[in-house]
């Protein structure tokens, strides 16, 4: 045990540190579940489109599967051009629904229901 002193309300107090060998609780790693029918469709697409799909699934999870705004994805390594091209590719494959408005970020809805082979 380690002894140290602290001062509270002008009085010196002796404090003993008890070693319990219990590590602080750590947050579990975050992960994204990818539907199997998405894997088949993504296998034919470009790598950057696959990464965009994973990021969109994660953002959809964060927004409780509601429609969400797809603004800046550069902190995920996706440039605006890659985002634009990837959204078109995913939309053509029927994996997402995109609502675009001039001067605003696209609004995305993940389409998990379309299970075509």
pLDDT less than 70: residues of the chain: 1, 114-117
Kindly list the domain boundaries of the chain, sorted by start residue: 36-110
Question: pLDDT digit string (tens) for 17-46?
Answer: 888 888 778 888 888 889 999 999 999 999
C-alpha to C-alpha distance for 102 and 4, rounded to whole angstroms:
64
Q: Helix and strand tally (H, E) in the chain?
A: 3, 5
Q: What local confidence, expressed as pLDDT, does residue 54 receive?
A: 94
Q: What local confidence, expressed as pLDDT, does residue 41 receive?
A: 93
Cross-strand partners of 95:
none
Q: Which helix (H) or strand (E) holds 81?
A: helix 80-92
- For the domain made up of 36-110, the CATH class stated in words is mainly alpha
C-alpha to C-alpha distance for 96 and 35, rounded to whole angstroms:
13
């Amino acid at each position: 045990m380690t002894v140290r002193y602290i001062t509270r309300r002008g009085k010196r107090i002796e404090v003993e540190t008890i070693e319990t060998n219990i590590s602080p609780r750590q947050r579990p790693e975050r992960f994204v579940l990818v539907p199997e029918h998405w894997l088949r469709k993504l296998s034919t697409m470009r790598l950057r489109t696959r990464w965009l799909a994973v990021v969109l699934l994660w953002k959809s999870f964060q927004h409780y599967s509601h429609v969400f705004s797809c603004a800046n994805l550069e902190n995920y390594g996706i440039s605006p051009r890659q985002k634009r091209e990837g959204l078109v590719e995913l939309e053509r494959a029927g994996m997402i629904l995109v609502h675009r408005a001039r001067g605003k970020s696209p609004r995305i809805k993940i389409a998990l229901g379309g299970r075509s082979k």
